[in-house]
Structure 1
């Protein structure tokens, strides 16, 4: 890669996340919450920074105390916040989360008039995308204007300046008025994406034909049940442009699909699950860090799997991301990468 001032800039959601203190309790019986930060791009920024990358976050926050809370945490984590826009008249986002292991993690989003959806093309210009090696974008930022146009502009700028574009599919069904528009936006941007990352559900969502293919139970917005032909969907995504598609498969690890039709399974680290929320972002941060080190895709994915396994054992997202030495120690305890 050509030398750049920064390693990575992530673009999309940011929020205050209120996590249930009562692990296993039904949502209506929760007595208290712990305040963390979240949003997929924020989580990835923190995770990659803790591993050793030089990272900025491009997002929007309100002129409010929640925005101050988010900025303060990011500064403590050494994430560059100069690219974060304060949006007058908008509110910093919030999410309330229940934790009912092993398989129920309900979410309630508060995103009316969300500041992170009001990032504009001018904010992207000010962020100087050309100074980075990698631009990572979250598909949720494509759901509404002006952030939708800002994402397309950021990707175009990156593509024209030899900045590699990574896409996290990050499907949140309740953020789309028409669920099929998620796929339309994703497929429109894929020709300029080098590496796309998603779960099987997100890949099915990106090729959705009918809204009734999606079913959400127990308000698990981040983990809907989606009907469809996963292999056909994978091929449709690959043919849309990216060199690689990485399919996250939880404790099973990940599968890498290549443009030439080859694929490779990368085993995971099966651990006891406390909370799956944020695990996919941990995977992305670990993978991107390994990629930035010049590792091969398999080894980078293994580190991503390890980072995801680390986080599912914790109750937070960004706050639970591993630091470099503790993640390497965890990997070594499993026999290495």
Structure 2
């Protein structure tokens, strides 16, 4: 399996986030990649290459132009305003507040985010572009005939909406890859999101489309971030009705429950008959992940990698999240080995 990875992920390393009322080192940190790379090399996954330059065309089809400008220029505006810390939203336009972008950079940060744990730094835009390039390069491998590829992306992407960042995500890598597949001739694309947190950004981007089937298995939003999307009654709108499927799983769910949901999801993917499958791979369903309510074991990741492989589809695996850093490599590579050995 060819793997695409960029060292430019290191450009993004916020020094803090708000968690449990404290300012802590972010769970999403560069060392996550070190554990994955170490395990990949230990198990002889050595075909690791850097990405090609990012083609912004598919990015612009997924993301709002003003939002992209904000990501590109926001840090310069922030520092020009005299702020010395990292960009962190002080307020967001929820519920009855006006949905109008302020001129102040302090207001813009709030306007363009949906959760205030996520900071922007001097290197965030560069890292986000590199992460999207990783996904895009791997997508082009599969579009070119490779049966599968692994995009080792950081920052992750599935919480990024067309015009909102949050949940450590800035550009939606899986959505950009899906747009790339469509531009390369795929009539139908399926996205299977197995991260413990609902892929709210991916859902929102494709909610009114029927050329991309989005399926997410995740912790029930009554108890689990992002809280405000991911319910089972969210099925898509207009042409997209029926092409959005959520499997919210209650806290404490182990593989018997999670695996049954995956089996049903795979049945629906097979019935959809996509030309290609994208897997948004978050391994934060692991029982020891610090921000996960679910209880998967190491061996469960091998098992579900094999189940996904039995769909026998051209498959792009895109790395999302996972924060039990000493286990993230084991669980990620277990999925890959399960997939390859099925």
User: Would you call these one fold, judging by a TM-score over 0.5?
Assistant: no
TM-score normalised per structure 2: 0.40
TM-score normalised per structure 1: 0.40
Question: Which structure dedicates a bigger proportion of its chain to strand?
Answer: 1
